[in-house]
């Protein structure tokens, strides 16, 4: 890396180095020393951007949520509310290498959040953000009159959110079974069942 870089850019590069170490060696190896080596920086230079390991890891975790949010914001409206809802949800599951990396890092930090209050707080923020996106997708369908009138949107957001995070875990741990095509089919089927029976609802 060149010596003169934008500090924000450098921080993002360091967070990416954290991700690389986590995905290759596990979160327990993501020390300041190992991340500095991965990024080709001295530990002193790294500490110019992140004073502590905790600060570095929190920034790296926050990046998972930031990247998902940026993708959702960049989405173009699709041809129908159903297509928009489906594409929104697809942005949040590991359908390509970029989203697979996010899911792996998210999963590593999820486990750490069990015993680390700082990580837990960031994790909960990302949890709430993802849950909000699920509620948005369901509201899109409901507002278009595509769901039964008595649909419990809050319960459905909880259910859909659990489905997406479960798919993310399974795609990471059982990639040969839970493939991108399979994930896409499960999401489509789930939306189909939400839309089922608007006349009888």
Site residues (CB under 8 A) for its own copies? 23-28, 104, 107-108, 110-116, 120, 123-124, 127, 152, 155-156, 158-159, 161-167, 169-170, 172-174, 177-178, 182, 185-186, 189-190, 193-194, 196-197, 200
- How near is the Cβ of 35 to its own copies at its closest, in Å? 16
- How near is the Cβ of 136 to its own copies at its closest, in Å? 17
- How near is the Cβ of 138 to its own copies at its closest, in Å? 13
- How near is the Cβ of 129 to its own copies at its closest, in Å? 12
Handedness of CA 58, 169, 190, 99 (dihedral sign): positive
CB nearer to its own copies: pick between 13 and 116: 116
- How near is the Cβ of 79 to its own copies at its closest, in Å? 25
CB nearer to its own copies: pick between 41 and 64: 64
Q: How far apart are CA 10 and CA 4, in angstroms?
A: 9
Structure tokens at 86: 């489906």
CB nearer to its own copies: pick between 10 and 190: 190
Q: How far apart are CA 198 and CA 192, in angstroms?
A: 11
3-state DSSP of 75-124 = CCCCCCHHHHHHHHHHCCCCCCHHHHHHHHHHHHHHHHHCCCHHHHHHHH
CB nearer to its own copies: pick between 10 and 161: 161
Helix axes of 32-39 and 53-74: crossing angle, nearest 10 degrees: 50
CB nearer to its own copies: pick between 45 and 53: 53
Which residue, 56, 54, 43, 69, is CA-closest to 13? Answer: 56
Question: How big is the CA angle at 110 (ends 109 and 112), to the nearest 5 degrees?
Answer: 60
């Amino acid at each position: 890396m060149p010596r003169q870089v934008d500090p924000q850019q450098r921080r993002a590069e360091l967070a990416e180095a954290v991700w690389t170490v986590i995905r290759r060696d596990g979160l327990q190896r993501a020390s300041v020393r190992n991340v500095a080596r991965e990024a080709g920086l001295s530990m002193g230079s790294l500490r110019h951007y992140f004073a502590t390991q905790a600060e570095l890891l929190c920034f790296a975790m926050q990046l998972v949520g930031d990247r998902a949010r940026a993708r959702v914001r960049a989405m173009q409206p699709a041809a129908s509310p159903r297509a928009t809802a489906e594409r929104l949800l697809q942005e949040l599951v590991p359908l390509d290498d970029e989203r697979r990396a996010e899911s792996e890092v998210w999963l590593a930090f999820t486990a750490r959040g069990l015993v680390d209050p700082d990580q837990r707080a960031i994790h909960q923020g990302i949890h709430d953000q993802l849950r909000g996106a699920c509620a948005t997708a369901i509201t899109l369908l409901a507002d278009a009159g595509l769901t039964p009138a008595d649909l419990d949107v809050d319960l459905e957001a909880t259910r859909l959110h659990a489905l997406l995070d479960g798919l993310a875990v399974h795609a990471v741990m059982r990639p040969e079974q839970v493939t991108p095509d399979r994930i896409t089919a499960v999401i489509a089927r789930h939306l189909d069942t939400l839309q089922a029976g608007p006349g009888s609802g």
